[in-house]
Amino acid sequence: MTVKTAISLDQRLFEEAESMASAMKVSRSRFFGLALREFLRQQKSRQILERLNRVYGAGAEADALTRVHRPSHRKLVEGSW
């Protein structure tokens, strides 16, 4: 099921989105759906990382573990894995 919605965007952002959707050969609706899905995925990943940091953030052993895994976590969260 799809839902129609209306949003207001800065003109420049709208034009960039239009251009990218055209380059990707997808509809504007599809483009915005893809962008929103990716944004939500990144936010969920950040939330998970924050929770993990809170859980493993206590004690020297956790500090060492965090230092070792931080680069790979960062790449995953930032989407450059």
pTM: 0.63
State the average pLDDT over residues 36-42: 96
Indicate whether 20 pLDDT > 80: yes
Both structure tokens of 58: 């206590």
Residues 16 and 26 sit within 8 Å (Cβ to Cβ): no
State the CB neighbour count (10 A cutoff) for residue 77.
19
For the chain, the structural domain boundaries read 11-78
Indicate whether 12 pLDDT > 70: yes
State the average pLDDT over residues 41-62: 79
pLDDT-based confidence at residue 52 (cuts at 50, 70, 90): confident
Residues 6+ apart with CB under 8 A from 77: 42, 45, 46, 49
